[in-house]
Amino acid sequence: MRHLNFNNKSKRKVYACLIRYLLDEAIDKLNTLVPPAVRQSQESQLPEGHTIHRAARDHNSLLADQKLTVLSPQGRFTEGASRVTGRICINIEAFGKHLIYHFDNGEALHIHLGLFGKIRKQRLPAAEPRGAVRVRLVGNTHLIDINGPNICEILAEHEFMDLINRIGPDVLRSDANPTLAFEKIKKSKAPIGRLIMDQAVMAGIGNIYRSEILWRQALHPETPGNRIDQQTFNRIWEDARALLTIGVKHNAIITVDGARASSRRYRERVNIFAKEVCPRCKGKVRRFEISGRRAFVCEVCQPLNYRVK
Ligand SMILES: [Zn+2]
């Protein structure tokens, strides 16, 4: 009987591995089928910028200043991996939702997780890859596995510069220039709820932070960009920076002042996202869509009353 149980357990393990692998392969297929326009709109979807900045911070402490072995267990990134393997990783940084590993030969590994990508870290010795691991980065003490990213490529220095020039100022970066974002917002008729999530305008804010920041700043998400004055923009920028900084620190979205990070349910740490009732006025929260993504507004606390110029 014990023998049989062992066999069943092994079988389950094999099936679980197989299913995981097939799922990752399907995700890779999905990523290649997504047309560029949709891929661009994925920019404004999960994960939010704080998770990528948190990953950059963690990976810096685990891998920076080390000679890395870079592999593609799945086989789809073998050539790219061979360009940087054996090189020293100088540092790892995030620009919005883009994760960049800089190597001492001037090249960079560029990762964008898209909707389905996953990062796993692991202490050495290395275990068997779980699922279809596109790229594995092995350092002295830890390894990082990345499955199903939307983008996984090696960039030469000028290609890296092109990339960061396309990304709007990132609220989490100390070198960001918020004026660049305001210049775009004040010229646009698009709703502010769309603009602050457009990674080419400003980088870092995802779907949950979008609703939360605008509620905290008493601003209706459908207010056109060209009705936003400098002062209002400054409030959005500062609040985004403060909230995402908390997000990086706790690796969790916390937008309720004084809320604890220990709570597992994000609903207890947000004010309005996916809520029925506004915590400020107890009125009903309206749910609608901006560019196909859920948005939430309290029409009482965030009236659409911009002055017509
Ligand atoms: Zn309200």
Alpha-carbon distance of 286 to 290, in angstroms, equals 13
CATH architecture assigned to 178-297: Orthogonal Bundle (1.10)
Q: How far is the CA of 304 from the centre of ligand 1 (A)?
A: 13
The per-residue pLDDT for 229 is 96
**φ, ψ at 116 (rounded to 5°):** -115, -10
- Ordered alpha helix ranges (H), 140-229: 157-166, 178-186, 192-195, 207-216
* Portions of the chain given CATH number 1.10.8.50: 178-297
Is 97 considered catalytic here?
A: yes
Determine the pLDDT at residue 258: 82
Structural tokens at position 213? 């920041």
Q: How far is the CA of 221 from the centre of ligand 1 (A)?
A: 14
Q: Which of 97, 173, 194, 216 is catalytic?
A: 97
Strand partners, 298: none
- Active-site residue, selected from the candidate residues 25, 293, 294, 299: 293
Annotated catalytic residue: which of 20, 25, 39, 47? 47
DSSP for 247-300, please give it: HHHHTS---STT--TT-S-GGGG-SSTT-SB-TTT--BPEEEEETTEEEEE-TT
- Residues 41, 115: Cα–Cα separation, whole Å: 11
Ligand 1 geometric centre to CA of 189 (Å): 25
Closest-CA residue to 116 (of 32, 238, 236): 32
**Pairwise CA distance, residues 240 & 245, whole Å:** 8
Domain with CATH 3.20.190.10 in the chain: 35-166
Distances from the Cα of 85 to the Cαs of 59, 145, 153, 168, in angstroms?
A: 16, 14, 13, 31
47 is catalytic: yes
Ligand 1: centre distance to CA 285 (Å): 7
Reported residue count of the chain is: 309
Structure tokens, 28: 């890779």
CATH number, domain 35-166:
3.20.190.10
Give the pLDDT score at 35: 46
Ligand 1 centroid to residue 300 C-alpha, Å: 5
Amino acid 46: pLDDT? 58
Q: Mean pLDDT, 10 residues at a time, over the chain (309 residues)?
A: 60 74 70 47 56 95 97 97 98 95 98 92 95 97 96 97 95 96 97 95 93 97 96 97 93 87 69 94 95 92 74
Q: How far does residue 244's CA lie from ligand 1's centre (Å)?
A: 23
